[in-house]
Amino acid sequence: MAQLDSNNNLYTFGNEFMYETGVEYKGLYHKQSETNIFTEPVFNSKTSKKLVAFQDIASSKYKYQKLATIQTNYDSITPATIIITSSDIANKFILRYFLKKINDELIIETTKKSYDDWTASKIDPNMYIGIQIKWYIAGIVDDIFNFNLKIINSQINMPGLRNHLTDPLQYYTSTNYVVPTNINRPTNSTS
């Protein structure tokens, strides 16, 4: 296919075209059409490289456009709803899971599944850090308070957790129940 001479032997001094990699191009070029522009004065299948319209790669707009085209296949985080069971009370603790955005103060208490997904890199490990903690919920109240406070204060791998967990007795339940007698059931007494 012969090209028109007006589309060959063109020259740019810069700020007009760049390689697809983002490197600015200065020099001879040719046009096959308005959108098919290549290096070299005429097309050479071995040496001609495709050119695109110049964009200042230092600009935020260019960086955003490049980032906006990144496709991710990461799962989303499922926030946890804590429900204390009788077996949790018998064990005297629960396991709690937290994920924190690296560039934000946001800490999300999440499910075991989301935490496991994060450890398996199904949730973006570049975006989040995570921890699992053993949280005491039953026993002597002063001991529970001190255990959980120590857990909160020892979590240096997740900055801000201390501000997120402000109640060391959260989910605490007493195991010293006094079960009243059933006042609706008659007793076997003779009068």
- Tokens read off for 1: 């296919």
Start-to-end C-alpha separation, the chain:
119
Dist CA 3 CA 32 (whole Å): 7
Per residue in 97-115, pLDDT (tens digit) is 999 988 888 899 999 999 9
As a whole number of angstroms, the distance between CA 21 and CA 18 comes to 8
pLDDT > 90: what percent of the chain?
34
Dump pLDDT digits (tens) for 118-159: 999 898 888 899 999 999 999 999 999 999 999 998 888 888
Q: Which of 66-70, 91-95, 163-167 has the lowest mean pLDDT?
A: 66-70
Nearby residues of 170 by Cβ (< 8 Å), 6 or more positions away? 135, 148
**Rounded Cα gap, residues 83 and 112, in angstroms:** 13
pLDDT given for residue 144 in this prediction: 93
Collapse the DSSP code of 175 into the 3-class scheme (helix H, G, I; strand E, B; otherwise coil) and give the result. Answer: coil
What does the buried/exposed string (b/e) look like for 106-137 if buried means 16 or more CB atoms within 10 Å of the residue's CB?
Answer: ebbbbeeebbebbeeeebbeebbebeebebbb
Q: What are the tens digits of pLDDT across the range 38-62?
A: 999 998 989 889 998 887 666 555 5
